[in-house]
Structures are given as C-alpha cells and as structure tokens.
Amino acid sequence: MTLTNRPARILLIEDSEIDTVIFKLMIKKTLDHPVIDTCKNGLAAIEKLTALKSQGDELLPDYIFLDLAMPMMDGWQFMDEYNRLNIDPMHKSKIYVLSSSINKTDVIKSHANPRVETFLSKPIDFGKIKSVFFSN
C-alpha cells in the first residue's frame, strides 16, 4: 500500500446494513485507523463525491467499494454518472466492485471497465481484503 503519511480514505457504497458492519470490521482489522465513509446507494455516493471534489481532489477516497444491486441508483448507474461528471480525472480512487451477484455478465462487465480494479465476491474474506491493500 502506498499510503504512509495518513490513514486510507475508503468509501463503501452498500445498501445492506449487515454487509456494511462486516466490511467495516474487516477493514478496521486490516488497516490502521482507516477513514471509512458509507453511502446506501449510488446517488448518495455521487452527491458525496461531488461535494468532496468541490473542496479539492485530495479529499476524494483512496478506495471505493461498490455494490451493484442498490435502490435509487445501482452500481452500474453510479459508474456511468461518475464517469460522466468526471469526478476523478486523475484516477486517484481505486474502484472495486463488491457484489454478491452470481451473474457472469456483471463479472465480465467489471473486468472490462477500465476504472474498476477488480470484482470482489461477497461474502468477502480477510485474504481478499488484504490483497486489495497489500498486493504490491
């Protein structure tokens, strides 16, 4: 992981409360003092990211974990809007799809999207989480 001067900034876009609790616990056991924000759908995440960007690109999260199936704005709609608004032109945020989808199309679409680092299946385990932060 390249972050040495400050805690990692993480945005989890997830509508399931139990998945959110589990994810936060795993991240807190993996990283020292992470800053974790959550949004329950893609629309709320777009609003949060737009507000952060207006204050400076350095406030954008280092990592975004994105569920696909959510109300109001799903993960794919979020990605479309995220790209349309050019929220992160310098690609500061690494985006990981985090989904329980067993639809092969979702996996293929994730891998084909140049902004998505990879597709992570739920339930996520410590090995997968560690590989995100300590793969280099």
Per-residue model confidence as pLDDT tens digits over 76-104: 999 999 999 999 999 999 999 998 888 89
Fold of 9-134: Rossmann fold (3.40.50)
Q: How confident is the model at residue 1 (pLDDT cuts 50, 70, 90)?
A: very low
* Nearest by Cα to 58 from 5, 98, 96: 5
Q: Residue 126 pLDDT more than 90? A: no
For CA atoms 38, 49, 116, 63, the dihedral sign is: negative
pLDDT for position 2: 46
Is 122 in a helix, a strand, or coil?
coil
Lowest mean pLDDT among 14-18, 55-59, 127-131, 132-136: 132-136
CB 64, CB 99: distance < 8 Å:
no
Q: Round to whole Å and give the CA distance between 44 and 38.
A: 9
> Domain coordinates of the chain in residue numbers?
9-134
Average per-residue pLDDT for the chain: 92
